Structure 1
């Protein structure tokens, strides 16, 4: 649901702006390898995801950021003429605006202004499904709104008194609102502690299930959910738009050899994620740390595919997935090969044949490459198996039974000192065995 405080509606006429900073800083630029056209396309996609009617798009060159209005006076006036002539009600700016900048631009243009943080908050608010997802997004939204209370109460500024009186009704109302938001933030944080505790109990229960986890990760709209649905015959929400999936979804899957795995579909990654949403975003990705195999699904037809790959790998490193694990536990799926031109298809096909570590060229829509993909998962799982030799006493019959059920017994010798077993385990079961032996 769109938040009332921003005062806009679905279908409202919208101008989308990507400010192209000539002196791009690391903080502002983020994924500086992207060109301004690609950045504009992405913010347009975000705007379409909340069903705004985009009537104009602009790449605006910015030399120096103005603390009060972000853009210079001439640019503000030029854009105002476009806003008035096109009857624009919402302006989306692909930048993180300060509360003062946002307020001043809204006054100058007499239109609602959404920055990158605001629009992603809207999308996350609509798409969150799990209890924790909703709590994390509301917490991020409350923190964002708290910083913008000055904007919400601009209509009271005229009421502030003179003659040394510093406060006034407007100032008091801001303080009341701030206190209410702070109380809500405190309550949300307490609820999150409980939800996280419950989720950890669920994760502990899942660790006892002898199935490896395979996690799908990738840039938003890369086709992860389409692949997930094809593999598991599920009906996870799929739409050709950014952030169609927010919360992680898990399903059981039997591989062609009969091996069972748990497949996890995760939230799509995005460049320059607003800092208010980093914690909410990472909370949905914790399943990745439990995964035996990480499948990086890429939209290979996207002109920005390489930059998107760099963003995904950066987020994974931030989660604690190191380079060694990326090399040993990662499978790269180059998805959407069905929409490539014949020349690009041939190029990608040749790359996939020579790639090390392996790359799978695939279409989650048509199913091309699916058999190769599943065979590669089985190969990775079997190559990561650990062989353990142990001597069990006759009283350890329960543990022996567990080993037969959850591993492949390669050799058994019954001797006077006990039963000697050599067993091959998947990594997850090898870890469980070590915990059981302690």
Structure 2
């Protein structure tokens, strides 16, 4: 697989027909760019190598950041036999062959570093199959995944392998990679400053993508430098890394939710745009912002709930892209609305009490008595019709007789809930007066 970065010219084959990414593949760990936090002496891998205590690890990170290259170089650093498989194309039969060959090498005195790309693609039972071979030292496992290991790998495997996060490449790292590519081709790229900046932007933190784009530019055999405008016409925009069923889907929605809760309309609009440009279903966005209106704004601004439903209906009527503007406007409104989760907290508290009290019946005085037998049982006895009471409020008990009165709803002093708090306090005072 392609990867990142400079290998001294003297250590490379002379062939210029090989892909640029392969020609720039590092020959040493110190040549890998963009993962200093992991590879430095204080980093997790650097510390392992310094203490000669390399153990099984899972590399978690986006594509094109060096997972495969680092695994290969670890095998070189430790004199382990390197074996690479992909969980996409491998099954139980191939795994058995890999383990048998590793056992044979172990008897001959050589260890095996097994690199498993897309390890999350193996099901839980297949993941369990690695455990005995890790435990007895038959293999040193290096797994690679773009998905959150906490959700995709089972606990038994995670307990035997350290998860190491590899980050997307920074702009500085990508600029360094461009310079190494230029050293390899012995020429500057035919791009002006704006074109160079756009090239980095289009690579979106992916070193492999950057090198592939560079090769595409070189194939044009330009004789003069071009800028961002020409480059953008010649290169199609790479789709943002956004898996509508994976971690990024939930990460970006979480970011949007917290921006709304934090009253930042600009950041909320940014994450809204990120999801929509990534291909998110606007109906899913509509559903989630409606939930935000109920959970984080609630009765502090009852209009917020209506605003999200209207935006949802507008999208259904207009479709994309016109209807998405209504969703964006609703997001701005939510971000600027007064916030309260008092209703949400009250609901959870009431649910907890309902589960605890089980089948406690309502007090008899608020039960209807349509039959004479029910009247004889005391149903409806002593009920006061609130409209006939002074101030339209009787102050009766409506909780089960065996249950003490509880307070779940505590409105905040923001937005419309300030008025609701006044009403709540008013009724509480009347209730006390009626009972005295």
Q: Which interval holds the TM-score relative to the shorter structure?
A: under 0.3
Larger Rg: 2
TM-score (norm 2): 0.24
Q: Higher helix share goes to which structure?
A: 2
TM-score (norm 1): 0.24
